Amino acid sequence: MRTVRRFRLIPALAALLLAAALYGCSGGGQAALAAGSVNGETIAAEELDYFKTRLRADVVLYFTEKYAADANAPGFWQTPYGGVTPEQELENRAFDACVRAKVQLILMREKGIYGDVSYQGLYDKAVAFNNRGASGANGPGLQTVRLDSFYTYYIDTGAMQLKNILAEREIKPSPAAVAARADALAAQNPGAGRTELETMAKAALIDEAYEEYVNRLVESAVVVRP
């Protein structure tokens, strides 16, 4: 199924103006056009490419399974299937991933988890962390962030912290909801005690509420896409 973009797109003129503007340097040090913005926060072209690299296999699988397309055939990425080319589908999915990442990162900044949440800023953060690790200054624990997946690392680790913060109020499950979910989990985990069941139930409810919370942020986001 193709992803559906429900967020709000601003007028085409503003999108064209954004596309014409140059933004900072990428992790590779090359200046690049912005790929768009979310609530005024720039989506770097490198950010879009990052998700395109990670979603490429999913898009190939989608077209080979749904349309029996030959991914090795010349012109596969430019051939329309069901009205859309694999290239367009990849672009759309990657952009959607950028929007979802960006709304979370903006919230992480608001909650004090990160300072600079730009793609370049997080890349620089990873490089600085690795440099400290190489000198032994990071102490025990993780010493290196893989630069080929640094963006996912900071989104995922930030999301864990963000869940804990939001669980204090915005997505805090009610005692009744925790009890009901614990009851449901009891049949699947006959050896678990009540405290363990309630811990599992609370974690599951927070995860679900977090996804719904992010979905609402995505739906209400003001998005520019050139």
Residue type, 60: V
In this prediction, residue 19 carries a pLDDT of: 44
Q: Is the dihedral of CA 9, 94, 165, 121 positive or negative?
A: negative
Among 50, 39, 44, which residue's Cα sits nearest to residue 19? 44
Residues 201 and 132 in one domain: no
In this prediction, residue 139 carries a pLDDT of: 82
Residues 107 and 206 in one domain: no
Q: Which helix (H) or strand (E) holds 64?
A: helix 45-67
Q: How far is the C-alpha of 116 from the C-alpha of 106, rounded, in Å? A: 9
Residues 92 and 174 in one domain: no
Residues 138 and 29 in one domain: yes
**Whole-structure pTM value:** 0.84
Q: What are phi and psi of 174, to 5 degrees?
A: -75, 155
Q: Residues in the chain, how many? A: 226
Tokens 């959607």 belong to residue: 96
Residues 186 and 112 in one domain: no
Q: Report if residue 226 sits inside a domain.
A: no
Q: Is the dihedral of CA 216, 94, 40, 114 positive or negative?
A: positive
Angle between helices 194-220 and 175-186 (to 10 degrees): 120
Q: Do the bridges between strand 222-224 and strand 8-9 make them parallel or antiparallel, or are there none, so unpaired?
A: parallel
Q: How far is the C-alpha of 141 from the C-alpha of 148, rounded, in Å? A: 20
In this prediction, residue 60 carries a pLDDT of: 98
Q: How far is the C-alpha of 197 from the C-alpha of 94, rounded, in Å? A: 37
Are 106 and 38 spatial neighbours (Cβ–Cβ below 8 Å)? Answer: yes
Per-residue pLDDT of the chain (226 residues; tens, 9 = 90+): 333 344 555 544 444 444 444 333 334 333 446 899 999 999 999 999 999 999 999 999 999 999 999 999 999 999 999 999 999 999 999 999 999 999 999 999 999 999 999 999 999 999 999 999 988 888 888 889 999 999 999 999 999 999 999 999 999 999 999 999 999 999 999 999 999 999 999 999 999 999 999 999 999 999 999 8
Residues 161 and 191 in one domain: no
Q: How far is the C-alpha of 78 from the C-alpha of 164, rounded, in Å? A: 44
Among 40, 52, 44, which residue's Cα sits nearest to residue 121? 44
Range of the domain at 73: 9-166
Residues 55 and 74 in one domain: yes
Q: Report if residue 112 sits inside a domain.
A: yes
Structure tokens, 174: 């009610």
Residues 85 and 112 in one domain: yes
How many domains does the chain contain in total? 2
Are 121 and 115 spatial neighbours (Cβ–Cβ below 8 Å)? Answer: yes
Domain limit, last residue, from 166, 190, 210: 166
Q: How far is the C-alpha of 90 from the C-alpha of 77, rounded, in Å? A: 9
Q: How far is the C-alpha of 105 from the C-alpha of 76, rounded, in Å? A: 34
Q: Report if residue 225 sits inside a domain.
A: no
Q: Report if residue 48 sits inside a domain.
A: yes
